[in-house]
Amino acid sequence: MTITYDRLVGTLEELDEVIRYNLEQNWTNTNVNNGSENLTPDFSSSSGSNVSHAWFDNTSFGVNQIVVNADDEFPDPSMRLIGDYGQGMITLIYIDIQAEDSTILKKMKREVDRILWEILPRADTTVPKSDTTASHIHSFGEIGVKWNTPKNTSAEEEDTVHAAGTLEVKWFKTKS
């Protein structure tokens, strides 16, 4: 049996690495500034490097960082296309942001949302992989990134702020 991925060109690349690459390549640092300083965060993915969540990295206070992690994919019953021969799939991509203050955090979240909106695949476009060929991303979930920004509860947390976002990435696989 052969499994193929709809829209994929070339070799398979993990979806968290695809999203990390596109955030990094399309980031406009002038959209995220701190006074006169334009800020470009460090980008990483769990597939591309052995990195922890920005959320839990207490050694990086004052550092702007985006970490993209993927969860296991699971079938979406509403996206069954061709019975036993194909299946719609969803991969949850977690995007953790750590920023030096709440103003920068808000700008970083807006920049992530802007990039994802611009790379949103349509019938005639695909989301590129790091080698610029087409990935197997078919679409994103209906609401884009669902952000969670908890309130700081202690004096230690006042030095930095965090946000965690979840992005549903939909894709299709078929077997022959």
Say if CB 128 and CB 135 are below 8 A apart.
yes
Residue 39 has pLDDT above 70, yes or no: yes
pLDDT of residue 83: 58
Q: Does residue 7 or residue 149 have the better pLDDT?
A: 7
Residue 55 has pLDDT above 80, yes or no: no
- At residue 135 the predicted structure's pLDDT band, cuts being 50, 70 and 90, is very high
Q: Does residue 20 or residue 154 have the better pLDDT?
A: 20
Q: Does residue 124 or residue 135 have the better pLDDT?
A: 135
Say if CB 83 and CB 166 are below 8 A apart.
no
Out of 67-71, 113-117, 147-151, 152-156, which region has the weakest mean confidence (pLDDT)? Answer: 152-156
Residue 145 has pLDDT above 80, yes or no: yes
Burial of 59 (0-12, 13-18, 19+ CB in 10 A): exposed
Out of 53-57, 100-104, 126-130, 133-137, which region has the weakest mean confidence (pLDDT)? Answer: 53-57
Domain total for the chain? Answer: 1
Q: Does residue 59 or residue 93 have the better pLDDT?
A: 93
Model confidence pLDDT, tens digit, residues 80-104: 655 567 788 889 999 988 888 888 8
Q: Does residue 73 or residue 110 have the better pLDDT?
A: 110
3-state secondary structure the chain: CCEEECCCCCCCCCHHHHHHHHHHHHCCHHHCEECCEECCCEEEECCCCCCCCCCCCCCCCCCCEEEEEEEEEEECHHHCCCHHHEEEEEEEEEEEEEECCHHHHHHHHHHHHHHHHHHCCCCCCCCECCCCCECCCCEECCCCCEEECCCCCCHHHHHCEEEEEEEEEEEEEEEC
pLDDT of residue 152: 61
Angle, vertex CA 15, rays to CA 114 and CA 44, nearest 5: 70
Range of the domain at 103: 3-175
Out of 69-73, 82-86, 113-117, 153-157, which region has the weakest mean confidence (pLDDT)? Answer: 153-157
pLDDT of residue 56: 46
Any idea what the CATH number is for the domain that residue 148 is in? 3.30.2000.30
